[in-house]
Amino acid sequence: MDLKQIEYFVRVAELGSFTHASVALDIAQPALSRQIRRLEIELRQPLLLRNGRGVTMTEAGKIMLEHGRGVLHQVERIREELSRARGGYVGRVAVGLPPSLARVLTVPLTRAFQTAMPDAILTISEGLSVTMQESIAQGRLDVALIYDSRPSPEIEIHPLTNQALHLLQSSRHASDTGPIDLEAVAKLPLIMPSRPNAIRMLVEHELATRGRRPRIAIEADAIPAILDLVADGLGAAILPASALHAFGRDTDFHLRPIQNPALVARLAWAVSARRPMTQVQRNLVELIETQVRTLLPGT
């Protein structure tokens, strides 16, 4: 067996699909299937069972996945050690950011990463917290910033900071700028992302404990679209202040604290519990923590 075969097998096993793995690896699906079949022939036993929905692992496949991940991690560590001997870091790391933070963190994080590790490659993507947790478990992301995460044996969660959520209203269509009770928020037409957005789920949970439901007027998943709709007076939104400040439109809106109770989104960074972190990934996490402390003061 060779490293390519191990890498291909691990990716197929993690994604549960030859089709998805062929896209992630940028290799034609027939060629990918041939490599996996050669690996199975060499090991004299099947590793994957094909079915209509994708693939599942045999017992031998589960053993191969555990050891294959270890082999690939050791190879990555060798590369990093050799790169440090040359005076730098190499490698690729994929990070996921929630839409409400992507505009705030993408540029400063990228600049800090390039300064600290000019020979390494950073890939940034946006996504819902639930989706990014799945991507970490499946190996598509190495690190992600997620809100109000749920415990999982596949994911390690490390708290970062808490962000107060505010009611966002158009400055042209609403004059009150003072704090607002959560009970009063429930009576307003809201513009919110679709489920299972973490902030949407938090709002629904807090209102449900009081026997109330949010009045959803419009669902919009993009922060710029939410801001445009609120500015036009079509409803209010519930967001952290950073989501507004990142777009430089503070004068278009009233940002009102929510009280009785205050709504707080808990931000954390997450990595796989199954794959050890590389040094490049650990360095990235340190950069993320620094940027969050600088740009997102906690509650």
How many domains does the chain fold into? 3
Q: Identify whether residues 207 and 70 lie together within a single domain.
A: no
Q: Identify whether residues 125 and 8 lie together within a single domain.
A: no
- Quote the CA–CA distance of 227 and 171 in Å, as a whole number: 12
Overall average pLDDT of the 287-299 stretch: 84
Q: Identify whether residues 186 and 253 lie together within a single domain.
A: yes
Instruction: Please write the tens of the pLDDT for every residue from 73-122.
Output: 778 777 766 766 565 677 788 999 988 888 889 999 999 999 999 988 89
φ, ψ dihedrals at 194, nearest 5°: -75, 160
Instruction: Please write the tens of the pLDDT for every residue from 143-173.
Output: 999 998 877 888 999 999 999 999 999 988 7
Q: At what angle do helices 3-15 and 29-43 cross, to 10 degrees?
A: 110
Q: Identify whether residues 169 and 257 lie together within a single domain.
A: yes
Q: Identify whether residues 204 and 279 lie together within a single domain.
A: no
Q: Identify whether residues 278 and 138 lie together within a single domain.
A: yes
Q: How confident is the model at residue 192 (pLDDT cuts 50, 70, 90)?
A: very high
Nearest to 116 by CA among 280, 296, 297: 280
Overall average pLDDT of the 240-262 stretch: 84
Q: Identify whether residues 182 and 67 lie together within a single domain.
A: no
With b meaning 16 or more CB within 10 Å and e meaning fewer, what string describes 75-103? Answer: ebeeebeebeeeeebbbebbbbbbbbbbb
- Quote the CA–CA distance of 295 and 282 in Å, as a whole number: 20
Last residue of a domain, one of 38, 65, 83: 83
- Quote the CA–CA distance of 165 and 180 in Å, as a whole number: 12
Last residue of a domain, one of 66, 83, 100: 83
What's the pLDDT at 298? 58
Which residue range is the domain that position 66 belongs to? Answer: 3-83
Instruction: Please write the tens of the pLDDT for every residue from 224-247.
Output: 899 999 999 999 999 988 888 777
Q: Identify whether residues 64 and 101 lie together within a single domain.
A: no
- Quote the CA–CA distance of 166 and 179 in Å, as a whole number: 9
177 against 174, higher pLDDT:
177
Q: What is the CATH number of the domain that holds 205?
A: 3.40.190.290
**Residues 281/143, Cβ–Cβ less than 8 Å:** yes
